[in-house]
Amino acid sequence: MAENENEAAASAADASPQFAVQRTYIKDFSFETPMGVKVFTQAFQPKVKMDVNTRGNKVGDNIHEIVLTITITAKVEDETAYLIELQQAGIFAISGFADEQLQHVLGAVCPNFLFPYAREAIDSMAVKGGFPPLSLAPIDFDAIFRQSQATAADSGQSLN
């Protein structure tokens, strides 16, 4: 009887949701100062624009790579003072989630996990480039995910 209980417990453990971070890494990182030295010879009151995107790749059984891409463009008047593009990636072992829950984990939970790494790397790069620190505000990836689901539902698409 104890053997049957152990098998049942092992089976239940296999079916329960599992989430583990295998690795975080920088997949691509670039920094440009198109204005060159000119940017340092004038008043620096930039307009900063941030674009955010995520994508995922299934790389094995229950193994997913999520890539958070953040592009920062700082402009002084109409000229680009600097441009930073970062692809912060992570490899996640994810299993036991229903399809809808899995989409939420991939689209919101993983990017939420990656964002602090991206924010620190971008801030550090701006400072190393000779510019003031760039403290990015938190991003609500849950809200972005819900919005993308609503948009996909409105247009009749699926979020695979």
Return the domain boundaries, the chain. 19-155
Q: What is the pLDDT of residues 45-95, one digit of tens each?
A: 999 999 999 999 999 999 999 999 999 999 999 999 999 999 999 999 999
Reported as a pLDDT band with limits 50, 70 and 90, residue 158 is: low
Between residues 11 and 59, which one has the greater pLDDT? 59
Q: What is the pTM of this model?
A: 0.84
Neighbours of 15 (CB within 10 A): 10
What gap in Å lies between CA 23 and CA 9, rounded to an integer?
29
Alpha-carbon gap, residue 140 to 41, rounded angstroms: 37
| CA 93 – CA 157 distance, rounded (Å) | 26
3 state SS of 86: strand
- Does CATH number 3.10.420.10 belong to domain 19-155? yes
pLDDT digits (tens, 9 = 90+) for 29-48: 999 999 999 999 999 899 99
Strand order in the sheet with 18-32: 18-32, 79-95, 63-76, 47-60
Residue 159 has pLDDT above 70, yes or no: no
SS3 61: coil
Inform me whether the pLDDT recorded for 3 exceeds 70.
no
Please tell me the distance from the alpha carbon of residue 30 to that of residue 129, in angstroms, as a whole number: 11
Q: What is the pLDDT of residues 95-114, one digit of tens each?
A: 999 999 999 999 999 999 99
The tens digit of pLDDT for each residue in 125-143 reads: 999 999 999 989 999 999 9
- Of 131, 130, 34, give the one whose Cα is nearest residue 80: 34
122 and 86 in contact (C-beta within 8 Å)? yes
SS3 32: strand
The pLDDT value recorded for residue 73 is: 98
Mean pLDDT for the chain? 90
